[in-house]
Structure 1
Amino acid sequence: MEYARLGSSGLKVSRACLGTMNFGPTGGVGVGSCDEADARRIIDTFLDSGHNVIDTADAYTGGESERIVGRAIGRRRDSVVLATKAFLPQGSGANDKGLSRAHLTRALDASLRRLGTDYIDLYQCHQWDPETPIDETMATLDGFVRSGKVRYIGCSNFTAAQIVESQWAAERGGGTRFVSLQSQYSLLARGIEPEILPTCERHGLGTLTWSPLGGGVLTGRYVRDDTPDRASRIGRLLNSPSPLARAWAKDLLTERNLDIAEEAAKIAAGLGSTSTAVALAWVRQRPGVTSVIIGPRTLDQLTGNLAGFALDLPADAIARLDEISDAGA
């Protein structure tokens, strides 16, 4: 099993991270559901395979994802790197969202209760809060670390400038710095390469990359000119009442993205592997990537995903994928 240090910290994490957005009776728009029995089987298999990072958030399936994860890890708690996130609304009140001291303090205590633990290994800001001074946020997070309720802190979906501001704020206050960033990264979405990945390296952040399969496009499930299965993720999005969801799905099924998916399928055939494994292996082998977040809804999907962490792509395959996906896209 391969592990890596998370940024400038001493925390060692597996190259695969189990994302749990699907865990619960109902997923969000375009997100499938995974009941507790199946979620437990996925968690057990993931941990039994030697991987150690599980990522959730207080907003996933109305908090049910955290409850399921907490119950599932049980007596394994101390061997799991448990990560969760806060920012999104937890109620209708003016202070029920964001990165203020008021909201984060309540959000952390609620996550600890749902997870059935007295500490979080990695507590992350789910997104930037333009309404709260970053000094307040970083001082609050530092207090969590000093109290023992949190071991390390990270951020999600921050820009390069926001990362720098956060680290400077921590330094000004003599507090705890971020050790990680969660960001989208795949053959279809390489926008973090020019600025964000170099900023993470300079400022001591490891990366936990999400959506490595490009919303499912890179699994090879979607064929050019065919109507997506209504049961698939993109099929659900295309049939959603939400105009934003439908637009997002159409943006995924572009000619460029399907060209990339077809090239990944050709490479997979030549290697005796799968499109899924090739796409995940490509992300895992990128410079600056610490751990890759996978979000299986079934045990079969987990098995297929984990194959990507045992596959080492040859240099010529990487070059072909780099060229067709274009770093500037």
Structure 2
Amino acid sequence: MSEPRAHGRHTNPLAPIKTVPVDLGIIQPRRRLGVSDLRVFPVALSGNVFGWTADEQQTFDVLDTYLQVGGNFIDTADSYTNGLSETLIGSWLASRVARDDIVLATKVGKSEDNPGLTPRAMERAVDASLARLGTDRIDLLYLHIDDSEVAFERTLLGVDRLIRAGKVRYFGGSDHSGNRLYEARIAAGMLGVAPMVALQNQYSLVRRTEYERDLAKVAAQQRLAVMPRFALASGFLTGKYRTKADIKGHRRGSEVAKLLTKRNLRIVSELDRIASLHAAPVAAVALAWLLAKPNVVAPVASATSPHQVLELAEATRVQLTRHEMAELDRVSA
């Protein structure tokens, strides 16, 4: 692997760094990502809104603030805004921070240019991502889909080739069932290739069953680092959306509207109560619940403003009591 390229800090005149008041007390030690040697901030910043609901300046402001609060774990995908998310992150990296200071995760399998998980498609997709991100390696590569049309052995051999070439350090699954994760581990052992170290599936207070019924046991057995995505349920668990009027004009309005159930509103009400006790944002409490779960390393959440980043980071200082965890478990059961 070639030596990582160090970039100068704060040199892009088009997007000057914005200093945001930061409570240094919320900065937490890194968490180890499974069996890897990666150590990450307990909240991963999603790039799924970069180039979509966040333009270039907003993206830089969000990333600058995340860096200021101690964040180092950026999560994106080659399919997010057709690669624009990666391009914006790459531009920010080039002007803001040394590459070694960031743990960079991206995903392949869903892009229009290189769909699927054949070895050839993955190699082309990774090369394109590296070019957009302006880096020589991806720290954590997720298989964005479970491609049933490609034998798992072929996919695993393709990923191992990328790891041996130094283009990828570690990899994980996304949207895989427990049985498929077992298959992958057995196949990796038989082939003598690198196994998965991470898992990114939907998991939140409003969507528990899929992970807790099928994946939690597998994650524990295989020592997989879990990074729940949609950790705030498209913003519903921030407490901003409580009526149909609240979601008017929201780009994910149809998704959020489905969450406006009596059960889910009871969850938000309990989050309100606990948040008031901790003097913390509702979103921070929702993430803190995840952070207290076994094998969860860093929930993945997005932000379109520095203020939202600060709210997400507050999750790292909220220590829920056993009673509070039990109440959230009960109301979301």
> What is the TM-score of this pair, normalised by structure 2?
0.87
Name the structure 2 match of 1:297. 304
Residue 324 of structure 2 corresponds to residue 317 of structure 1: yes
Q: Which amino acid aligns with 1:81?
A: V
Q: Give me the whole-angstrom Cα distance separating, in 1, the residues matched to 2:279 and 2:294.
A: 25
Name the structure 2 match of 1:237. 252
- What secondary structure, in the 3-state scheme, does the structure 1 residue paired with 2:57 have? helix
Q: Which amino acid aligns with 1:213?
A: L
1:52–1:81: 8 Å Cα contact kept in structure 2? Answer: yes
Deviations 1:16-44 (A, max 9, x none): 111110001x3xxxxxx101111112112
Q: Give me the whole-angstrom Cα distance separating, in 2, the residues matched to 1:217 and 1:209.
A: 15
Q: Give me the whole-angstrom Cα distance separating, in 1, the residues matched to 2:47 and 2:285.
A: 22
1:86–1:124: 8 Å Cα contact kept in structure 2? Answer: yes
Distance 1:190 1:100, change over 3 A: same
- What secondary structure, in the 3-state scheme, does the structure 2 residue paired with 1:23 have? coil
Deviations 1:199-244 (A, max 9, x none): 01211311111112122221111224x5224233xxx334xxxxxx
2:46–2:302: 8 Å Cα contact kept in structure 1? Answer: yes
1:213–1:279: 8 Å Cα contact kept in structure 2? Answer: yes
Q: Which amino acid aligns with 1:89?
A: S
Q: Give me the whole-angstrom Cα distance separating, in 2, the residues matched to 1:284 and 1:298.
A: 23
Residue 278 of structure 2 corresponds to residue 258 of structure 1: no
Q: Give me the whole-angstrom Cα distance separating, in 1, the residues matched to 2:317 and 2:84.
A: 31
Mark the runs of 5 or more structure 2 residues left unpaired by the alignment.
1-27
Q: Give me the whole-angstrom Cα distance separating, in 2, the residues matched to 1:165 and 1:254.
A: 37
Name the structure 1 match of 2:291. 284
Deviations 1:240-273 (A, max 9, x none): xxxxxx3x44321122111111111122123322
Distance 1:250 1:42, change over 3 A: closer
Q: Give me the whole-angstrom Cα distance separating, in 2, the residues matched to 1:165 and 1:87.
A: 19
Name the structure 2 match of 1:88. 110
Residue 134 of structure 2 corresponds to residue 112 of structure 1: no
Deviations 1:58-110 (A, max 9, x none): 0001100001111112242111111100011323xxxx311011211110111
2:228 aligns with one of 209, 212, 215: 209
> What is the TM-score of this pair, normalised by structure 1?
0.88
5 Å-filtered alignment, 1:150-165, equals 150-165=168-183
Q: Which amino acid aligns with 2:252?
A: L
Q: Give me the whole-angstrom Cα distance separating, in 2, the residues matched to 1:77 and 1:253.
A: 41
5 Å-filtered alignment, 1:185-224, equals 185-191=203-209, 192-224=211-243
Name the structure 1 match of 2:80. 60
Mark the runs of 5 or more structure 1 residues left unpaired by the alignment.
27-32, 239-245
Name the structure 2 match of 1:76. 98
Q: CA RMSD in A?
A: 1.5
Name the structure 2 match of 1:19. 46
- What secondary structure, in the 3-state scheme, does the structure 1 residue paired with 2:213 have? coil
Name the structure 1 match of 2:66. 46
- What secondary structure, in the 3-state scheme, does the structure 2 residue paired with 1:195 have? helix
- What secondary structure, in the 3-state scheme, does the structure 1 residue paired with 2:200 have? strand
**How many matched pairs?**
303
Name the structure 2 match of 1:242. none
Q: Which amino acid aligns with 2:98?
A: R
Q: Give me the whole-angstrom Cα distance separating, in 2, the residues matched to 1:203 and 1:229.
A: 40
Q: Percent identity?
A: 36
Q: Which amino acid aligns with 1:200?
A: A
Q: Give me the whole-angstrom Cα distance separating, in 1, the residues matched to 2:132 and 2:45.
A: 18
- What secondary structure, in the 3-state scheme, does the structure 2 residue paired with 1:227 have? helix
1:53–1:83: 8 Å Cα contact kept in structure 2? Answer: yes
2:162–2:168: 8 Å Cα contact kept in structure 1? Answer: yes
Q: Which amino acid aligns with 1:223?
A: R
Name the structure 2 match of 1:140. 158
Q: Give me the whole-angstrom Cα distance separating, in 2, the residues matched to 1:302 and 1:205.
A: 26
1:4–1:14: 8 Å Cα contact kept in structure 2? Answer: yes
Name the structure 2 match of 1:269. 276
Deviations 1:48-67 (A, max 9, x none): 22221101100001100001
